[in-house]
A and B are shown apart, each in its own frame.
Chain A
Amino acid sequence: MEALNRSAYVKDFIANGKLTAIRVVDCHTHMDGVYGTSMPISDIDGCMRLMEEENVGSIWCAPHGDLFYPLTPNADIENYMAKYPGRVRGYFSYNPNYGELYGKNLQHVLELPGYIGLKLLPEYHRYALDGEAYREMLEFADRHSLVVLVHTWGGSAYNSPAQVQNVIKKYRNLQMIMGHSAPGECEAAINLAAKYDNVYLDLCDIHRNNGMIERMVERAGSTRILFGTDMPWYDPVYAIGSVIFSHITDTDRENILFRNAETILTKIRKQG
Chain B
Amino acid sequence: MKLIDCNACIGYDTVNRRIVNHENYPVYERVKQAKDAAELLAEMDFNGIDEAVTYEQSMFDLSPDAGNKRFLADTGNYTGRLRGTIAMLPSLSDSAFATENLLDIMQKHGLVGVRAYPERNRYFLDRLTCGDVLDALCERGVPLYLTPMEGWAPIFEVMKQFPSLTVIVYNYGLWGSDRYFYPLVRNYKNLYVDTGDFQELNGIRAFVNKFGSERMLFGTNFPMDNMGGPVATLLGCRIGAEEKENIAHKNIEKLFNRMRLAR
A184 touches B27 (CB 8 A): yes
| A17/B236 contact (C-beta < 8 A), A184-B29, A211-B32 known | yes
B201 touches which of A39, A154, A211 (Cβ 8 Å): A39
Chain A residues closer than 8 Å to B113, beta-carbon distance? none
**Interface residues of B, Cβ cutoff 8 Å to A:** 2-3, 19, 21-22, 27-33, 45-50, 174-179, 197, 199-203, 205-206, 222-233, 235-238
A158 within 8 A of B: no
Chain A residues closer than 8 Å to B226, beta-carbon distance? 207-213, 242, 245-246
B236 touches A13 (CB 8 A): yes
| A234/B200 contact (C-beta < 8 A), A13-B235, A39-B176, A40-B206 known | yes
A38 touches B29 (CB 8 A): no
A241 touches which of B27, B232, B238 (Cβ 8 Å): B232
B233 touches A184 (CB 8 A): no
Q: Which of A3, A39, A186, A243 has the most CB of B within 10 A?
A: A3
A238–B175 CA distance with the chains assembled, in angstroms = 13
Interface SS of chain B: loop
How would residues 28 to 64 of chain A score, 1 for a CB under 8 Å from any chain B CB and 0 otherwise? 0000000011111110001100100110000000000
| A3/B233 contact (C-beta < 8 A), A41-B201, A214-B32, A238-B199 known | no
| A238/B235 contact (C-beta < 8 A), A40-B201, A42-B201, A184-B28 known | no
A5 within 8 A of B: yes
A254–B205 CA distance with the chains assembled, in angstroms = 28
Name the residue on B nearest A47 (C-beta). Answer: B201
How would residues 182 to 217 of chain A score, 1 for a CB under 8 Å from any chain B CB and 0 otherwise? 011011000000000000000001111111111100
B225 touches A209 (CB 8 A): yes
Name the residue on A nearest B237 (C-beta). Answer: A237
A238 touches B29 (CB 8 A): no
A40 touches B236 (CB 8 A): no
Chain A nearest Cβ from B197, distance in angstroms: 8
A211 touches which of B2, B27, B31, B232 (Cβ 8 Å): B31
Chain B nearest Cβ from A51, distance in angstroms: 10
A209 touches B224 (CB 8 A): yes
A234–B173 CA distance with the chains assembled, in angstroms = 12
Name the residue on B nearest A247 (C-beta). Answer: B46
24 A-B interface contacts by CB (under 8 A) = A1-B50, A2-B48, A5-B228, A14-B235, A17-B235, A17-B238, A18-B236, A37-B176, A38-B177, A39-B200, A50-B201, A207-B226, A210-B222, A210-B223, A210-B224, A212-B29, A233-B175, A233-B199, A238-B233, A241-B233, A241-B236, A243-B228, A245-B229, A247-B46
Those of A216-246 within 8 Å (CB) of chain B: 231-235, 237-246
A187 touches which of B30, B46, B178 (Cβ 8 Å): B30
Closest CB pairs A-B (n = 9): A245-B228, A241-B232, A211-B32, A3-B48, A38-B176, A40-B206, A38-B178, A210-B223, A234-B199
A57–B47 CA distance with the chains assembled, in angstroms = 26
Chain B residues closer than 8 Å to A210, beta-carbon distance? 31-33, 222-227
Chain B nearest Cβ from A49, distance in angstroms: 10
Chain B residues closer than 8 Å to A21, beta-carbon distance? none
